[in-house]
Amino acid sequence: MLYPSIDSLLNKIDSKYSLVSVAAKRARVMQINDDQRIAKTVSHKSVGKALEEINAGILTYKVESSEQTNA
């Protein structure tokens, strides 16, 4: 059984693509800086820890709107 479940994660982040992107970036930072924000995690790997941070609401992302001007 996957923890946290994909359904609970998609309630926090709107798409699977965004979820994978955010988790992968956070996992990379976590490996380089060795900074874990959850004291006790179920996962042993960085991506799993990042997904747990997303599920806990510690890790979020912001969508920047890009305005295009027509000339």
**Residue 66 placed within a domain:** no
**Residue 38 placed within a domain:** yes
**Residue 48 placed within a domain:** yes
Task: Note down the domain range covering 33.
Answer: 6-56
For residues 41 and 52, what is the distance between their CA atoms, to the nearest angstrom? 7
Q: In the predicted model, is pLDDT for residue 61 greater than 90?
A: no
* Strand boundaries in the chain, DSSP class E: none
Q: Is the pTM of this model over 0.85?
A: no
For residue range 13-48, what is the model confidence (pLDDT) as tens digits? 989 999 999 999 999 999 999 888 888 888 889 999
Number of domains in the chain: 1
For residues 7 and 46, what is the distance between their CA atoms, to the nearest angstrom? 20
**Residue 18 placed within a domain:** yes
**Residue 10 placed within a domain:** yes
For residues 53 and 43, what is the distance between their CA atoms, to the nearest angstrom? 11
8-state DSSP, 57: T
**Residue 27 placed within a domain:** yes
**Residue 63 placed within a domain:** no
Torsion angle of the four alpha carbons 49, 23, 55, 16, in this order, in degrees rounded to the nearest 10: -140
8-state DSSP, 2: -
**Residue 13 placed within a domain:** yes
